Amino acid sequence: MQKTKRKSTSELREGYTTGSCATACAKAALIALITKQVQKRVMIHLPIGKDVEFLIEDCNMGDFEVMCSTIKDGGDDPDATHGAIIQATVSWREDGEIFIDGGKGVGRVTKPGLPIKVGLAAINPVPRKMIQTEIENVLKHFEIEKGVNVIISVPDGEEIAKKTLNSRLGIIGGISILGTRGTVVPFSNAAYMASIVQAISVAKASGCEHLVFTTGGRSEKFAMSMFSDLPEVAFIEMGDFVGFAMKHCKKIGIPKVSLVGMMGKFSKLARGSMMLHSKGSQVSFEFLASIAKECGAANESIVKILQANTANEVGEIMRELGCKTFFDKISEHCCKEVIKHVEGGLIVSTAIYSMNGELLGKAENIDAY
């Protein structure tokens, strides 16, 4: 079988946000309501400063309202909403106001800490502004002085939301209508970092003073077992962005954090790497060998560590030796490097697990380096 060449980041195709799709549908629906003509395409202005034309898949004309829909194109970004149908239903109102709300499949905010007030539809500030602006421009163009209702819906939104963190953030009943640029940048670091900030903010607003950060879904499962007394909102997947997550915790006044992960990434953190992606940092086998030597490992084991291919392999060598102290020391180094990075002000704990869920070592409640 011929191996498929993976696209480089520069070759990846950008897509459009749910906010852009909702805006396009709202504008098309209002034009159709005014002109009584079915709309096939519509142009909107994106926050990044460019105009983009959207294909309108469906335009249902009624006597008092119009519903337009488009299919979200996420480009080459592996987004849960790629291919989703986004709809906007527009009707007149007599008070002159522009009212924007969510319908079927758009979540509703039930917890504080998000940029939207509790009780409102999960349509973020930038998409709301985009919709508002396009509606105002259409009304001005046709010289109409009326109010407009805009209801954004996503028919499969409730099912799609199960693939997101919405329920943990207190967004119930569907997806969020998102976007700050108008476009989706594939594998965007900024988008992931924004999700971390949002999760920390919701946890803080929920009264959490102890947050648990993990590098992925598997380590989060182990963390939830370890800290079973904490609410679900206290658990946050930081991915590779440990330094960024920890600085934000200090910034908004979270006093205590716990880090839960595995040898691969935490061996880098223990040496001071705050970005744990393979492109951003490398495992130092010399560093791991020096820790093993401190723990009394024999020369034969030190040689094996220096010749190892991965940090997980080093972990297996030390686990077979029954050297829990090694993992405790790595955990302690992780805590101290985090405290050094944020320049104090956090109480940090670290736990290292094996791939099959065995607790290998930990360090608890360290507040100085």
Tell me the sheet residues that pair with 212: 235, 258
pLDDT at 144: 96
pLDDT at 80: 86
pLDDT-based confidence at 11, cuts 50/70/90? low
pLDDT at 157: 97
Mean pLDDT of 77-83: 82
Taking alpha carbons only, the member of 171, 146, 238 closest to residue 18 is 171
Residues shown for the chain: 369
pLDDT at 188: 66
pLDDT at 243 over 70: yes
Helices (H), the chain: 18-35, 125-141, 157-160, 189-205, 217-226, 242-252, 263-269, 285-294, 299-306, 311-320, 324-342
- Cα angle for residues 59, 63, 64 (degrees, 5° grid): 90
pLDDT tens digits, one per residue of 297-323: 999 999 999 999 899 999 999 999 999
pLDDT tens digits, one per residue of 25-73: 999 999 999 999 999 999 999 999 999 999 999 999 998 999 999 999 9
Tell me the sheet residues that pair with 179: none
DSSP 332: H
Taking alpha carbons only, the member of 280, 242, 279, 247 closest to residue 259 is 242
Mean pLDDT of 231-245: 95
pLDDT at 187: 62
Phi, psi of 133 (to 5 degrees): -65, -45
pLDDT at 79: 77
From residue 120, how far is each of 123, 149, 222, 229, 243 by CA, in Å? Answer: 8, 15, 34, 30, 33
pLDDT tens digits, one per residue of 187-227: 667 778 888 999 999 999 999 999 999 998 899 999 999 99
* Largest Cα span, the chain: 85
